[in-house]
Structure 1
């Protein structure tokens, strides 16, 4: 089941039957570096955590690659909402084989569209390690703007680095909306 999408990318439900796939993606060394996490996680721990995630308050999507016409799971996006102030932190994870083809931009854009037009959030923010130029560019292309720097807050390849804070606000979210197009005759 796909909820919203374009010709190349779609968002669907976060699925317990994909726990091993999500776990495999999370163990990729480049993802561990990008998140600043130092150690892998066991499949058993990941499976146990999946139940908590499915019951939680966060908004999670499986990202699907539609390039070949058949939906193929390619990543996960997550909104970690603060409902009291109608904001959320954004997190994305793409499978190693899905990177470099525009899926990150597409999935980020669709998640923001959902956040602003379905969940009615007023602002979404993220943190990205400063050396991650590809991530920063993809986020900017999807609608995020640089909001500030957390100095020496992260690690990149064993070295201390800054984290960049970026945000997107509903009032500035431009371009075509997939969600709005569903309600336009």
Structure 2
């Protein structure tokens, strides 16, 4: 939290665009470490936005932005292992399991493991919404 407040981050508002009007439902943050050329990813979604693909889409867009604008070698995150929906959303967006921090968190008042996941620039393939805006020829 202290790092976020110092302003070294990139923040995005997450919108649900499934209805007639876009509705803000969360926030996604990149915390770059420019010396190591890495970035931590954090996302918070309102309960009503979960389980509908909003998190996966937002995460994929933030990875796109990270790899085409911020230029880290990798982006990483931590997620509590009982959060199966979150793990699946991150996997759909391009993250892979990298390791486990045993008994590092709490889920509904019980001790649980934390999964560390990462996404590498070389694994981020497919069309880029960011690159398409900057250079339509390469999009």
Q: Compute the TM-score of the two structures, normalised by the length of structure 2.
A: 0.90
1:50-80, CA deviations, whole angstroms, 9 ceiling, x for partnerless residues?
xx83x61111110112122422111100011
Instruction: Give the equivalent residue in structure 1 for 2:130.
Output: 179
Which residue does the alignment assign to 2:98? 147
Report which of the two structures shows the higher radius of gyration computed on alpha carbons.
Answer: 1
Equivalent in the alignment of 2:40: 89
Residue segments in structure 1 that go unaligned for 5+ positions in a row: 1-48
Could you say which structure has the higher helix fraction? 1
State the match for 2:75 in structure 1: 124
Choose from 39, 53, 57 the match for 1:106.
Answer: 57
Moved runs in structure 1, 4+ residues, more than 4 A? Answer: none
The answer to whether structure 1 residue 58 and structure 2 residue 58 are counterparts is no
Question: How far apart, in 1, do the equivalents of 2:51 and 2:100 lie?
Answer: 25
More strand by share: 2
Deviation at 1:98, TM superposition (A): 1.2
What's the RMSD between the two structures over aligned residues?
Answer: 1.5
Q: Which residue of 2 aligns with 1:74?
A: 25
| Higher RCO, Cα 8 Å, sep 6+ | 1
